[in-house]
Structure 1
Amino acid sequence: MMKKKSIYRYMPVCIFSALLVTIVYEIGYTYKLWILKDAIVPWGYVTNTAFAYGVFLVGTMWVFHFTFGRFWLYVVANLLLDAFYAFVFHRIEEKLGIADLISVKHYHIFLIMVGLSFILYPYQLWQVKVWKIMVHKDRDDITVRINTPTWLTKKEKAK
């Protein structure tokens, strides 16, 4: 029987991806690269929280679930999804009045998203390496030494 891979093993990279997207939105807000006109939460005019902590986080989880370990498949999947976001979805956001690009173009958004994907893959490789070390570490060589407190020995000496 084949062991099922848990999708939750990709949570660290998903949370890291949400952090990176938040940082990108903060930079975009600071340098007026784009403007968010509509927000779900009051602080959402800086970071598109629905995208960063919703679609992007879940999308990252599924992309890693289906492609991790096959780098070229990961690259192709990310290129397709990032192109869809930058050239289709972002235009829909503009038409709906949710966001406007000010000093960047759609291909800049595409390049930012692809750049993030090339940061996330090595991060996940590192996470897998760390978890393997933690899980497969030999615990037989751990020695626990319990030192008797000095006050106890002094009290025993007084008796």
Structure 2
Amino acid sequence: MFNKLILWLLFIAPWLSLFFMKKEGIKRFMPVTLFTALLVTIIYEIAYTYEWWELKVTIVPWGHITNVSYAYGSFLIGTIWIFYLTFKKFWLYLAANMVVDGLDAFLIREFMESRGIIHYINISKLNLFLLMFTLSLIAFGFQVFHERVFKLEN
């Protein structure tokens, strides 16, 4: 029961933080956020197929492949916050992602595994970190592309 509460908090609390963000920031960075959420969902599909990990506790009945709390909660909103706070400063963006991805891969995932929420099988924490950091580089490229296209339209 406590594990489900943790997952619900990881899903709901980040969304509540958007009340502290300017509406323009949400509008500007929501496309890249949704793009990365799609990529994370695809990563979960790949992870399921190659048994990188197994989700043991979920908040929705269909959530045994994609961790809804992470993909559409903490990761999704964390992405928008990182872009909101660091986008124009590439090195700061990289540093923020290294710290957040490192905390996620080495500490938070360890906590989740110790709680029995997830079980890692065929992926190391270092590979998980590298995967998520690579995703942050792809996301940055997407946002730069999106901003250039948007400026061309105006």
TM-score computed with the length of structure 2 as normaliser: 0.83
Distance (whole Å) between structure 2 residues aligned to residue 42 and residue 134 of structure 1: 43
Query: What do the CA deviations read for 1:29-71 (whole angstroms, capped 9, x no partner)?
Result: 0111110001111111100011001101100001000111110
- Aligned amino acid, residue 121 of structure 2: I
Distance (whole Å) between structure 2 residues aligned to residue 43 and residue 104 of structure 1: 23
Out of 59, 64, 68, the residue aligned to residue 49 of structure 1 is: 68
Distance (whole Å) between structure 2 residues aligned to residue 47 and residue 5 of structure 1: 28
Distance (whole Å) between structure 1 residues aligned to residue 111 and residue 126 of structure 2: 15
Shift of 1:87: 0.3
Mapping of 1:11-50 within 5 angstroms? 11-50=30-69
Query: What do the CA deviations read for 1:77-132 (whole angstroms, capped 9, x no partner)?
Result: 00000000000000010011100100111111101100101100010001111111
Is 1:121 aligned to residue 135 of structure 2?
no
Mapping of 1:80-119 within 5 angstroms? 80-119=99-138
Unaligned runs of 5+ in 2: 1-21
Matching residue of 1:133:
152
Identity %: 47
- Aligned amino acid, residue 6 of structure 1: E
Aligned residues, how many? 132
| Higher RCO (C-alpha under 8 Å, 6+ residues apart) | 2
Runs of 4+ aligned residues of structure 1 deviating over 3 Å after TM superposition are none
- Aligned amino acid, residue 51 of structure 2: K
> Equivalent residue of 1:38, what SS?
coil
Out of 24, 27, 35, the residue aligned to residue 6 of structure 1 is: 24
Unaligned runs of 5+ in 1: 136-159
Matching residue of 1:141:
none
